[in-house]
Amino acid sequence: MLRELFLLFTCMAWVEFAIHFSPWIKNISQNVEIYTPTTFQYPVSLNTYNGEHTRLLQNLQRSSGKWDSTHPRHRLLTALHGYTCYKDKSLAEVDKWRNLYKNVPKRQRTLLESTIHYTRKINTIEHLLDTNAKLSRSMVDYGLSFYNISQSELDEFIKESESQQRSADRTSVSQGMKHFVRDWADEGHEERQQSFGCILNSLAQMPRTKERPLRVLLPGSGLGRLAHEVDKLGGFDVTMNEWSAYMNLAYRYVSSLSVPNSVQFHPYIDWWSHHATTDDLQRSITFPDEVIHPSSVLLVEGDFTTVFAEHTGLYDIIVTLFFIDTARNLITYLETIHRLLRPGGRWVNLGPLLYGTAPFVQLSLDEIVALSASMGFEFQETDPAIGNVTLSGLPVRGLEVAYGRNGRGLNKNAYQAQYWEAVKR
């Protein structure tokens, strides 16, 4: 009896929920709505690659704003500091493991050495670090020339930072380098398929012409592979945006490579957990699996919520992949997406709701849908093949996707990422 009552109340709650949400749920039982571009006039034009580079260099001038840790040049120098110190930081970590090993009693160490050669394993890792350090040095060299910064300025910045106990951030460096695998190595192919498939399928169906390409913006684009895949579809004018200087240095570097699979490194040697074999741990990865034509996609560096101040109503499509949960203020993200889209423009989202440190609000999926709808987004029905509807009555679909997974690892973490498309009314 109690169970029946519970089910009855649950059903009533869901009916009420569906009625409540119905005004912004469109075409629930129909197929994907065909996207029709209107004869919309753009208020301003997009920057060119060279124009954006000039704007970027101007923005990086020390005189362009208050000189503190939020200044773009300060953030860039901090990232360059991080990549410069990759080797020292990593060697310090290996030293720590070597010292910890000394705690193992002599008898056990003898056993370890005669069976699995543990010291040799540590020494090999130390040796492989040289390859990674060579990569991080090349990234610094390319960054210095791309951003027009002298080695002496960087040296001075590092000296000053260290004197103020601001040490290099090894985690951001390691994350930046690991994204070479997710975005630009063969090994990331499966992971990319999982995430990009539904987005690219949807964009591919959108009517467009060479003469009148659709303008797409991808904020929080990381190392930019999705942006370049959208560009390859043809008929899109693609802008990507990324705030992190660690990511931007990595993207600028990968964009500079003209030979496929010309760079090699060992992405897994800094984390010894979840490896089936030591060969897996120590294996090398090559990239890029494809050469990038950097000028085909425009990277606008900076904070998504402020850097596009003059782009109101400029975009036909905004694609957020693993992005919205990075917001300090999620409402500002939603407002920015809404402002940058033209009326009738479409927001395509795929990602989890993994809130970071100190977000102002942490909303659940139903709250995000309700809030977006109240701002003027109309959620669209999407292809059922993408995945099951997460909340009955809402056209938001869930699909299991990995992020930064080691394909041979013994851990298989994945997200139930949420996919939706919403049109700005």
Least distance (Å) from ligand SAM to the CB of residue 49?
19
DSSP state of 142: H
Work out the number of other CB atoms within 10 angstroms of the CB of residue 209: 10
Our CB check for ligand SAM shows the closer of 225 and 346 to be 225
Our CB check for ligand SAM shows the closer of 161 and 336 to be 336
Least distance (Å) from ligand SAM to the CB of residue 6?
38
Least distance (Å) from ligand SAM to the CB of residue 245?
9
Number of H helices, E strands in the chain: 15, 11
Distance CA 334, CA 316 (A): 16
| Using rule CB under 6 A, residue 182 touches ligand SAM | yes
Distance CA 278, CA 286 (A): 18
Distance CA 63, CA 305 (A): 22
| Using rule CB under 6 A, residue 241 touches ligand SAM | yes
- Of residues 208-227, those binding ligand SAM (CB under 6 A): 219-222
Q: Which of 105, 287, 334 is nearest to 181 (CA)?
A: 287
Stretch of 10-18, 28-36, 238-246, 265-273 contacting ligand SAM, by CB under 6 A:
238-246
Q: Exactly one of 303, 335, 366, 383 binds ligand SAM (CB under 6 A); which one?
A: 303
Our CB check for ligand SAM shows the closer of 222 and 288 to be 222
Tell me whether strands 214-219 and 236-242 are parallel, antiparallel or unpaired: parallel
Our CB check for ligand SAM shows the closer of 174 and 326 to be 326
Our CB check for ligand SAM shows the closer of 183 and 237 to be 183
Across-strand partners of 423? 346, 378
Across the chain, which distance is largest between two alpha carbons, in Å? 79
Tell me whether strands 341-351 and 388-389 are parallel, antiparallel or unpaired: unpaired
Our CB check for ligand SAM shows the closer of 73 and 275 to be 73
8 Å CB contact between 335 and 375 = yes
Distances in Å between the Cα of 90 and the Cα atoms of 35, 133, 142, 188 are: 50, 9, 21, 24
Half-sphere exposure of residue 188: CA atoms within 13 angstroms, side-chain side: 23
DSSP state of 56: H
Least distance (Å) from ligand SAM to the CB of residue 238?
14
Distance CA 299, CA 293 (A): 12
| Using rule CB under 6 A, residue 247 touches ligand SAM | yes
| Using rule CB under 6 A, residue 244 touches ligand SAM | yes
Our CB check for ligand SAM shows the closer of 281 and 298 to be 298
Our CB check for ligand SAM shows the closer of 84 and 326 to be 326
Our CB check for ligand SAM shows the closer of 133 and 341 to be 341
Stretch of 204-212, 272-280, 302-310, 391-399 contacting ligand SAM, by CB under 6 A:
302-310
Least distance (Å) from ligand SAM to the CB of residue 67?
21
- Of residues 319-378, those binding ligand SAM (CB under 6 A): 321-323, 326
Q: Exactly one of 35, 236, 243, 415 binds ligand SAM (CB under 6 A); which one?
A: 243
Distance CA 128, CA 146 (A): 28
Distance CA 209, CA 409 (A): 43
| Using rule CB under 6 A, residue 251 touches ligand SAM | no
DSSP-assigned letters across all residues of 59-90? HTSGGGS--STTSHHHHHHHHHHHHHTHHHHH
| Using rule CB under 6 A, residue 242 touches ligand SAM | yes
The contact set with ligand SAM (CB under 6 A) reads 182, 219-222, 241-244, 247, 303-305, 321-323, 326
